[in-house]
Amino acid sequence: MCGIIGYTGGGSQTPDGGDVLDVLMTGLSGLEYRGYDSAGVALANSSISVHKRQGEVSALEEALPDGSVDGYAGIGHTRWSTHGPPSDANAHPHTDCSGTVAVVHNGIIENYQVLREELETAGHTFESETDTEVIPHLIEDALEAGADRESAFRRAVNRLEGSYAVAAVFCESETVYAARHESPLVLGIGEDGHYLASDVPAFIEYTDRVIYLDDGEFATVSPSGVVVTDERGTVVETSIETIEWDPEDAGKSGYDHYMLKEIHEQPQAIRKCLRERVNEMAGTITVDDLADLESSGPVQFVACGTSYHAALYGAQMLRKRGISAQCFLASEYDADSIPVGEETLVVGVTQSGETADTMSALRGANRVGATTVALTNVVGSSAARECDHAMYIRAGPEIGVAATKTFATQQVALALFSSVLSGESSQAFVEALRDLPDQVQSVLDNSTAREVARAYEDADAYFFIGRGYNAPVALEGALKMKEITYKHAEGFAAGELKHGPLALVTERTPVFAMVSDDETAAKTLGNVKEVEARDAPVVAITDSRETVERYADFVLEVPETHPALMPILANVQLQLVAYWVANRLGRSIDKPRNLAKSVTVE
């Protein structure tokens, strides 16, 4: 939900000989997954120069004037609209009436209407429909009242209610001022310049040394260093962390899309997720991240979207091991009206660690004294910092808006989590986990998903069914299909089809059925026959070709594995089908319309 970048280096030249604008544009490209309906930059000089455009960062690039646009310091923004539709006027940065200060913002200012009326009454003129624009005008008021730049920024921010990561530059100043409350903000400490951004990929090319800001903190970022203060202005001691990502990890490495690259990174991501956690010789599973976790009570998962599907899988794993586990859509979780207390373990499954709905649910759980765990990809994320424990899925950076390798590693991490919590793991399960990365590789190498996509790219709708461990993957297969192809797709627990959705099944609605060679096979096969009898094309995803072959138009095979791991393999086939259908339809695969990767509004 919007990405912001800021840079100051004490002069218009950056460490690699580029200019401030280069850093901002690189940063915006690295943040585009957070929103892509308009983009803009502001550079501070003797005056402020603002350039902004509706559309993706490439549209801004084309709109920039020829020759270098100079500045001592600058800020940039890529937008996912909340207040006011995508347009040049609503694109950030926004300025005050006199053009002294420019501001970028990620989040929602809940009291902006009141502030706007007050400012308009005082004579300020607004150029946009955004909530953000109140900020530069509030700063302007404070400057006119005699405040210095830092105090003016602080006074303005202190009037805001809602969520924000906000950054401002002033004319004739090399300093970038920033603050955060419930929206992410990280500082980058470089050799010859300093950065701030919504996320690390924005500046990983320049530095891997970072400081994560906490809620309520302010940062003054100048060429000579960064100073972090709390709400009262007291200096806060910070620690610099080193990010372990390779800048190359954030590139496309020759793939046409990040999504395809990330699908192909799954073997490696799973290996990393398993590393030093699975002891094959002893047949044991240990997770250092959870070393201090003590829990014997019920487990509640809170999550959204793809992460919710992973949570459904995790809950099944726990229940099969005798632990009571429930799943909640984070946006529906209300800790004040359900049985949750000190005995409950509440697990937030969130790859970004910043999803507003999930954070709100976790904060509710913290408030009632539950023990909380963040299962996340992002070290230093809000979820990781606010929960009592954090278990990392180690997927590496995922740029494509459609979650792929983070889903696979969430499932693997949840399989490990359930073993740790229950104390139950068998030699067979450990060996199956060991073999999983190679099996995913073999699915990638041998998949005929592209043929299936070719056969059914014109379908009216797609249905996905699976039972037991495969039921969450049916939901995920449908989500991936609708998200990147913009076609109607639905996923069901296989037994549910006959209770209503079967009415929609025709010869123009391919049904993707996960048929696992376990105790669910016979019943799922019954469901496959039901759709086949209605002339629907059947695509079977199976580890047992002979069981299902004669009822299927296509078979997408996966290697035999432990029944709990089959859905991880099956999902790779579904990811590839969705990818190739979207590719054939010419969709914007990495940046599907209306979506953003990190959803930081409720």
Q: Which residues bind ligand M6R (CB under 6 A)?
A: 304-307, 350-352, 355, 358, 401-403, 483, 597-599
Catalytic annotation present for 304: no
Q: How far is the CB of 558 from ligand M6R (least distance, A)?
A: 21
Residue 221 or 484 having the CB closest to ligand M6R: 484
Catalytic residue among 261, 272, 482, 597: 597
Residue 258 or 429 having the CB closest to ligand M6R: 258
Which residue is closest to ligand M6R by CB? 305
Neighbours of 284 (CB within 10 A): 15
Q: How far is the CB of 56 from ligand M6R (least distance, A)?
A: 18
Catalytic annotation present for 272: no
Residue 44 or 479 having the CB closest to ligand M6R: 479
C-alpha 327/C-alpha 346 separation (Å) is 10
Identify the H or E element spanning 226.
strand 225-229
The total number of residues shown for the chain amounts to 602
Residue 56 or 590 having the CB closest to ligand M6R: 590
C-alpha 196/C-alpha 419 separation (Å) is 39
Greatest distance between any 2 Cα atoms in the chain: 81
Query: How many degrees, rounded to 5, is the angle at CA 473 between CA 1 and CA 427?
Result: 115
Residue 175 or 598 having the CB closest to ligand M6R: 598
Contacts of 332 (CB under 8 A, 6+ apart): none
Q: How far is the CB of 376 from ligand M6R (least distance, A)?
A: 8
Region at 425 (left for phi over 0; alpha for psi -120 to 50; beta for the rest) = beta
Q: Whose structure tokens read 């955060």?
A: 180
> Tokens for 545?
């070709």
Local structure of 111: helix, strand or coil:
coil
Catalytic residue among 2, 171, 273, 304: 2
Residue 141 or 265 having the CB closest to ligand M6R: 265
**Letter for the amino acid at 496?**
E
**Letter for the amino acid at 312?**
L
Are 385 and 212 spatial neighbours (Cβ–Cβ below 8 Å)?
Answer: yes
To the nearest 10°, report the CA torsion of 193, 198, 202, 204: 70
Q: How far is the CB of 476 from ligand M6R (least distance, A)?
A: 8
Q: How far is the CB of 132 from ligand M6R (least distance, A)?
A: 23
Q: How far is the CB of 226 from ligand M6R (least distance, A)?
A: 27
C-alpha 596/C-alpha 573 separation (Å) is 24
Q: How far is the CB of 130 from ligand M6R (least distance, A)?
A: 23
Residue 45 or 358 having the CB closest to ligand M6R: 358
Question: Closest Cα to residue 581, out of 464, 493, 413, 424?
Answer: 464
Q: Are β-strands 511-515 and 461-466 bridged in parallel, bridged antiparallel, or unpaired?
A: parallel
Active site residues: 2, 597
